[in-house]
Amino acid sequence: MNSNLKTMDNKTKLSKIAQYQNNGNWHELTCGNDSQHLPLVGKEVNGKVILVCLECDYDQDYIPEVVFK
């Protein structure tokens, strides 16, 4: 894991996820149940940042490090 990621606070992580998902230069991170759903969004749950789908109950705790660069 990237040392910057270890020290990054959750507010910054959520901001970087939003920037990545709205960039337009690459494909967004999508729902594992249905890739036609809206792009995943960051959410803090029990002190940890995860990705969630707004259209179903899908959530994902793996977030690629490239999102936080």
Domain span including residue 64: 3-68
15-67 pLDDT, tens digit each: 999 999 999 898 999 999 999 999 999 999 999 999 999 999 999 999 999 99
pTM of the model: 0.89
Work out the pLDDT band at 6, boundaries 50, 70, 90. confident
Work out the pLDDT band at 1, boundaries 50, 70, 90. low
Share in percent of the chain as helix, strand, coil (round to 5): 30, 15, 50
Number of domains present in the structure of the chain: 1
In 8-50, where does DSSP find H-type helix?
10-21
